[in-house]
Every structure is written in C-alpha cells, then in structure tokens.
Amino acid sequence: MVDYIMKFFGSLIIFYMFIVIASYCIMLTVALITMRKRYRLDPSEYDDAHIDAFYSKPISLLVPAYNEEIGVVDTVYSLLNLRYPQTEIIIINDGSTDNTLETVIKHFKMKPIEQIIKMDIPTKQVKQIYQSEIYPNCILVDKENGGKADALNVGINISQYPYFCSIDGDSILDEKSLLRVMKPIILSDGEVIAAGGNVRIANGAKMQRGSVYETNLPSNYLVVMQIIEYFRAFLMGRIALSRFNLVLIISGAFSVFSKKWVVEAGGYAANVIGEDMELVVKLHRLLKEKGEKKRIEFVPDPVCWTEAPQTLGVLRRQRRRWHQGLLESLWKHKRMTLNPKYGLIGFISFPYFWLIECLGPIIELGGYIYLIFAFFLGNIYYEIAITLLLLFVIYGVIFSIASIIFEAWTMNSHPSTRELLRMTALSFTEIFWYRPLTLIWRLEGIINFFLGKSDWGNMKRQGIAGKEEGA
C-alpha cells in the first residue's frame, strides 16, 4: 500500500512538473520571438519622431504614499525628470504616521489650495489639498488612512487627464519610461486601455535627484535572488501572456490606465490585498461582458526601479501578501475559469494562474517532502526521486540562466563577466534554500486566505540607494 501511494504521488508530481516546464518553454519561445522583432527597432527613434502624438494623451501620475518619507522625494524628482509633454503629479498621503506629509510639503514648498473633487469613486475623506509653489503641476493630497487602493481612487477622482499612471512611493522611473509605456496606447488609437512597464530592482544603486545613473549587483544574496526572479517573471511570463492579450497582472509599481474604463469598472477594490491584479481582472471581465475588443499589454522597454526586501522577515511578508492577493482575485472571479464567455482569458489565463501560480506551492512542497521520504525509504524510489530532482533543477536553474542571458540581450545591458558568473552560480543554489522558503511563504498566503486574515504586512523601507544589510 505504501509503495502504491509513493509511486502515485511521485508520478503525479513529475507529471505536474512536466506541465510547468512545458508552459515555461512555450512562454520563453514566444518571448524570444516577440523580443527578436522589437530588438530590430530602435525605441529612441519613436520617442523623437512621434513626440507630438503624446500631446493628445496627457497623463496624471498618481503616487500613493504611506510612511514613504525615505523615498518619496526621489520618486517625485524622477517624475519631474520624465520626458513627456503634459503631466500632473498627484502625491496621495494615505494617513502616514511618519513624516511623509511634512517632508513633501517642506521639500516642494506646498501651499494649501481649494479644489472641487469629483466623487466618481467612493473614498475616505480628503483632509487638505496642496500645490507646489516651485512645480505648479505637482499636487499633494492629505487624506484619512484607507489603504493603497483607496489612495489611488482619491487620485483618480482628483486627476484631470484621461489617462493615469500609478507609481509606488518608493519607485524611480527612467526619463523615457513614460513615453515608451504609452507607445501601445498611442499606436492602437484607444484599443489598448492599460499597459504595464518593466520593473527592476535597484538596491544599492547610485542615484541623484531622482535619476539612477549607475547600478551594481548587490552583495546581499537575498536581493540577487529576487533580481533573477524578476527576470523570469517579467521577461518570460508577462511578455508571452501579453502577446495574446492574456496578462492578468501588470505591476502596481508602474502601470498606465484609461481613466474612463477604470471608473466604469468601479476603480481599485479597497477590500482586497492584491488591488493591482484585481483591477486588471475586473477590466478584462468588463470588456468581455460588454463585447469590447480592447487590450491590456505589458511593455518590456520601460524601466521602473524599485526597492526589494533585504531581510527574510520583510520578504516573507511581501510574498505571503502577494500570494494571498492572487488567490483572492482568482476566487472572486472563479466563474471566469473555463467559461466560454471570457474567451482565452477563461480557457488559458485562469487555468494557468490556478494550476501553476496559485496551487504550485502545495504541489512543489509536496515534491520536496517526497524527495526526503524517497531517499529514506529505499532504492525502489530512487528513480522517481532523481527524475523529480532533475526536473527541479531544470525548472529552477535552466530557466534562471536563460532569463539572465535574455535580460542582457533584450535590454541591451552589459553586465560584467563577474556579475554574470555570480548570478549563474547563485541560480544553482536556488532549489536548496530560496525556492523552498518562497514556497512556504506562499503556502502561508493560501492559509491566511482560508482563515480570512487581511495581512498587508509592514514593508519597512531603507531607500533604494540606502546601505545594504547582509543576507
């Protein structure tokens, strides 16, 4: 009986890993083909030749800030440095308990103003609106604490332009990133209603007045593993899914939306943890139910620099929260799964996110437990255990190395040989420490969901250019 159960579960996990690896192989192939076409084009040529077209699409830049006094000034400077014809910057102080409000008021010489607010989306009360004496297009909103989603909804209500870009309060944008993330919206003449940009980790970067001018691979192994992980997620998964209008997640750290469609969808949901994914899923659902042929795209060219957790405790809270938010959105919209009414979103995106992204931690942790038991129970299980171990290596190591090479090629970056060797060597260790830890944390997110816990977690910031701590 024990032999039968062990063989059954071993075969089941191996079958699952084959599905995962096949999915990633398909996505890598699609991403390579897509980026091969883009690689032949010089994005700067479009930036310069079509700058006039962007005047017709002014953008409101929304910066929700809760206890972001360390990084918010650099974030605002990066927005002021953006090459884009017409923008307004709206910083939303969401009841911070630190000196975020005072820091912004003092640094940008903010003065109170009176402004009528359109309540397109219900929100917490706004206490006061300020305007910068130095930069008239820069607005500060002080409001009651209601969470990031509520802060963004306040920004949408106050904004005056037809498109808005949500940016985390600790993020830095490259000067051309907004031009490039708006490119599919401009070219499609309204067919694309939302676009997300590429996010990169910049811990330890050298920065001046909101501009990153030099990046180096951090000494913290935990941060380096996150860099590799971001390469996999953004350069493989999202490029491939975006190619067929199947992307369900565009990063809340840097994404552009049509205000009209977001308001019609009800804005950001204030009662969920993963408000960015929830909004994208709501938009897909609204478009399908209205029979509209609109698109939501991921754009690999733009770069948004963000701060990654530098300690196990902070990373644990982040991944637990991310996974709980993922499961919340999938469960809330579960009727879309395999529903012909929602086309490929229902038949491909939802099954992929359910099977590989959401339930993956349970099955993969089962694989790790199986490996331990197999080597203790005798020779009869060695063959299955070794096969499973090889699949883990292929999944963890091969795709990580492919992503590193893919990043250097597609982004036209030139990491040093030492940095490439260091990332490659670290990829071989992932399955022994980093992968099991993230699987456990994601499993905690699943448990929190079923227990009904709303755990946003405390994401302590040290600043992008701050001093790193050891791993």
62 and 159 in contact (C-beta within 8 Å)? yes
pTM attached to this predicted model: 0.90
Lowest mean pLDDT among 159-168, 354-363, 397-406: 397-406
State the pLDDT at residue 468: 36
Would you say the C-alpha torsion 288, 290, 294, 297 has a positive or negative sign? Answer: negative
Closest CA to 300 of 43, 50, 81: 43
State the pLDDT at residue 414: 59
Q: Label residue 386 by pLDDT band (50, 70, 90).
A: confident
- In angstroms, the CA 101 to CA 231 distance is 34
Task: Quick: pLDDT tens for 299-333.
Answer: 987 788 888 999 999 999 999 999 999 999 999 99
Q: Label residue 28 by pLDDT band (50, 70, 90).
A: confident
Residues facing residue 138 across a β-bridge:
89
The residue with greater pLDDT, 64 or 56, is 64
CATH fold of the domain at 42-311: Spore Coat Polysaccharide Biosynthesis Protein SpsA; Chain A (3.90.550)
- In angstroms, the CA 280 to CA 238 distance is 13
The residue with greater pLDDT, 373 or 51, is 373
Q: How many residues does the chain have?
A: 471
AA letter at 295 = R
- In angstroms, the CA 327 to CA 277 distance is 10
**Structural domain boundaries in the chain:** 42-311
110 and 132 in contact (C-beta within 8 Å)? yes
362 and 327 in contact (C-beta within 8 Å)? no
State the pLDDT at residue 362: 94
pLDDT higher than threshold 60 for residue 439? yes
- In angstroms, the CA 142 to CA 119 distance is 16
Torsion (CA) 103, 107, 109, 111 in degrees, nearest 10:
-20
